[in-house]
Amino acid sequence: MRIAVLGGGSWGTALAIHAARLHDDVALWVRGEDKAQQLEAERENARYLPGLAFPEDLRVSAAPEIIEGRDLILVAVPSGAFRETLRWVSPQIASDQVVAWATKGLETATGAWLHEIAEQELGPEHPPALVSGPSFAAEVAQEQPTALSVASSDEGHMDCLVEALHGRSLRLYRNPDVIGVELGGALKNVLAVATGIADGAGFGANARAALMTRGLAEIQRFGEAVGARPETLTGLSGLGDMILTCTDNQSRNRRLGRLLGQGLDLARARAEVGQSVEGVETARVAVARAQALDVEMPICAEVHAVLYQGRPVHDTVRRLLERDPAREAG
């Protein structure tokens, strides 16, 4: 296969490295000619994945022509750059090219799902297709065993993603539930901020387990409101991704939460993490959408209050614990 991965961050670089181990014509597109030349010269992404050498068959470019004739164009940029990237790529793609994404989150300006943005920017002739699930970029690049979901309303697009990425250390599972896979990948970031806050404040393993379990209930309520399949939300791109992101400090969202729990303000915490933290913006958008859908999401709401209203961490925990008793189901 001929594959182009768009996005020179940790995730895009890791996917490009993995794909280039499976195929002999893989390109990584990055923004800026200087950056492309640097990556080509050094043959590694020293900022995001230091020490992980590029395969011989991986080439790096900032030229738009890099996507011409590619069987698969895989977008792996932060959610805030997703629409801009699709808008840039749209005039250049042919009808027989598959465009998919490995981006997680919601559009911060509008609250739109990524598949809604894709339909608006690419048109109905390009069905939505994505890859998501429990995965840290460095471990994928290091060929640590990983399992992910590929989702699309089109079987051919799922087949294309499987052919492009399935192999060696990476196993893929097909799932036609696009909205469910997107939802799990977006909302787990907010819960990772929550568990990070609790751990940073020293609240212990009991609190972490409670936040994860009740956080999953919030995702399931939200999923029911938007038509996601329940089994998706207890699968790789739901529960699996949530466990990974909430419990391991490779997660940028969890690390940011820990810094907040230790007393840093949001600006200092973001600077300390030094990379995009999707859960910060997703918390704002998710709470707004939940309110519009009349879905109760108290944990996400409290994370939002810490991030945007300056609510002290201990007040947040107290508010959650002092909620009225309720049945566990639902």
In this predicted structure, the answer to whether residue 63 has a pLDDT above a threshold of 80 is yes
Q: Show which residues are catalytic.
A: 188
**Confidence grade of residue 330 (pLDDT, cut at 50, 70, 90):** low
Tens of pLDDT, residues 66-88:
999 999 999 999 999 999 999 99
Element (H, E) at 149: strand 146-152
Average pLDDT over residues 114-138: 96
CA distance 268 to 270: 5
Give pTM, 2 decimals.
Answer: 0.94
Based on the number of CB atoms within 10 Å of its own CB, is 37 exposed (0-12), middle (13-18) or buried (19 or more)?
A: middle
Tens of pLDDT, residues 8-29:
999 999 999 999 999 999 999 9
CATH tag, 2-176: 3.40.50.720
Q: Where in the chain is the domain with CATH 1.10.1040.10?
A: 179-321
Contacting residues for 172 by C-beta, under 8 A, at least 6 apart: 131, 147, 148, 149, 150, 161, 162, 165, 166
**Confidence grade of residue 329 (pLDDT, cut at 50, 70, 90):** low
Tens of pLDDT, residues 248-281:
999 999 999 999 999 999 999 999 999 889 999 9
Tens of pLDDT, residues 28-54:
999 999 999 999 999 999 999 999 999
CA distance 234 to 85: 31
In this predicted structure, the answer to whether residue 328 has a pLDDT above a threshold of 90 is no
DSSP codes joined into one string, 250-261: T-HHHHHHHHHH
Tens of pLDDT, residues 159-198:
999 999 999 999 999 999 999 999 999 999 999 999 999 9
Q: Where in the chain is the domain with CATH 3.40.50.720?
A: 2-176
Three-class DSSP category at 295: coil
At residue 316, the pLDDT reads: 83
**Confidence grade of residue 324 (pLDDT, cut at 50, 70, 90):** low
At residue 284, the pLDDT reads: 94
In this predicted structure, the answer to whether residue 321 has a pLDDT above a threshold of 70 is no
CATH tag, 179-321: 1.10.1040.10
In this predicted structure, the answer to whether residue 128 has a pLDDT above a threshold of 70 is yes
